[in-house]
Structure 1
Amino acid sequence: MIAVGYDTATGKLRIMFKQGRAYDYCRVPAQVHEGLMRAGSKGTYFDRYIKDRYQC
């Protein structure tokens, strides 16, 4: 992933992946976003805690 954006008001998380595609995830709790930003491996964290959980 090359960029991450987060809207605290709506909980919308946008992730831009290396392949150039951006994906939105809805109602993501702030602590999940914070965990992603702190993660040593963002890809592993994404796979474990975000992928297939917060679809819009």
Structure 2
Amino acid sequence: MKRAAVTSRSLRSLGYDSEQQVLEVEFSSGALYRYEEVPPDAVQALLEADSLGRHFN
């Protein structure tokens, strides 16, 4: 899955597979997490948030 860089102090990049509904989050620390069963509207809300890190937490 391709991830795109994001502007955030706590998140480095995000990737989303809409078919599998899997969200990949790379943190500034380099840690990479995969979240399953993430609906597209939740990803859209994250991307539109004023603060990605705050919204994610």
TM-score bin (small chain): 0.7 to 0.9
Task: Return the offset for 1:44.
Answer: 1.1
Structure number with the higher helix fraction is 1
1:17-44: CA deviation from partner (whole Å, max 9, x where unpaired): 0000100000001000001111110111
Count of aligned pairs: 47
Gaps of 5+ in 2: 1-10
Structure 1 residue runs of 4+, over 3 Å off? none
TM-score, structure 2 normalization: 0.79
Partners of 2:30 and 2:54 in 1: CA distance: 19
C-alpha RMSD over aligned residues: 0.5
**Percent of matched pairs sharing the same residue:** 32
> Is 1:36 aligned to 2:46, yes or no?
yes
More strand by share: 2
